[in-house]
Structure 1
Amino acid sequence: MRHQVSSGSAWEQQVGYSRAVRVGNVVHVAGTTAVRDGSVVGLGDPYVQAKVALEIISAALAEVGASPADVVRTRIYVTDIGSWEEVGRAHGEVFAEVRPAATMVEVAALIDPDLLVEIEAEALVGGGRADAL
């Protein structure tokens, strides 16, 4: 069974992707930025942008019956690796106890020049939880 989540973004139809896809107990959340209602949130603030992206990811996970506790992998793309501590702080506020495998890399640009952070997540519902070990 395949369950897809849409954020309602025009990009999803145009590019052909979903915010999140769950197949069985595996969930993949697409690269997520701090865009709400078509506008970038947290202009110039990588911490706020990371927090908003993680809130959007958490909502997408909830829509498919998962939570941040199920996340086993994140990938973080930043336009300035010098902001790693601010972005890492936001990530740690969500995943301090979960501690998924994580990668943070600097990229030349994101789809909108006002975007500073993009985050992907992968989750295993049930089996991926730290408390299930």
Structure 2
Amino acid sequence: MGYSRAIVKGDWCFVSGVTGYDYATMQMPEEVAEQARNCFRTIEGVLKEAGFTMEDIVRVQYTVTDASFVERITPVLGEALGEIRPAATMVVAGLIRPEMNVEIEVTAMRG
């Protein structure tokens, strides 16, 4: 399967869905809020490496495995995005591993 963490096309950066692993330790926190924080840490690093910032995010898709997780991750979304107001979609669906409770995908645009 072909895969890239992110693709840059001109002024656009498409970041693949990111799950809550702490990639320094390859550990997955049990708590969904911590998983969401790890997602945003990874996303921020990927965007920076590609020459973008969090403020460039224009679209985000959240996937949670249980609707009750929405309330628990909402404060984390506020922490990560602040005044950034991207177009957003929240989906409740299964993920490929049972320890994964949230996946976040973003699109960023410069300019």
Q: Same fold (TM over 0.5)?
A: yes
Say whether the 8 Å CA contact 1:75–1:104 is kept in structure 2: yes
**Cα distance in 1, alignment partners of residues 87 and 71 from structure 2:** 17
Q: Which moved more, 1:70-79 or 1:88-97?
A: 88-97
Q: Who is 2:75 aligned against?
A: 89
Identity %: 37
**Cα distance in 2, alignment partners of residues 28 and 87 from structure 1:** 22
One of 83, 86, 92 as aligned partner of 1:106: 92
Segments of 4+ moved more than 6 angstroms: none
Q: Who is 1:78 aligned against?
A: 64
Shift of 1:40: 4.0
**TM-score of the superposition, structure 2-length normalised?**
0.92
**Cα distance in 1, alignment partners of residues 26 and 98 from structure 2:** 12
One of 15, 25, 28 as aligned partner of 1:41: 28
Q: What is the CA deviation profile of residues 22-62 of structure 1, one whole-angstrom value per residue up to 9, with x for unaligned ones?
A: 1110000000001225734212x110000001110110000
**Cα distance in 2, alignment partners of residues 16 and 90 from structure 1:** 31
Q: What is the CA deviation profile of residues 70-124 of structure 1, one whole-angstrom value per residue up to 9, with x for unaligned ones?
A: 00010000001111022221111111211111111100x2111000000000000
Residue identity opposite 1:16 in structure 2: G
Structure 2 gap segments, 5+ residues each: none
**Cα distance in 2, alignment partners of residues 38 and 27 from structure 1:** 26
Higher Rg of the two aligned structures: 1
CA RMSD, aligned part only? 1.3
Structure 1 gap segments, 5+ residues each: 1-14, 128-133
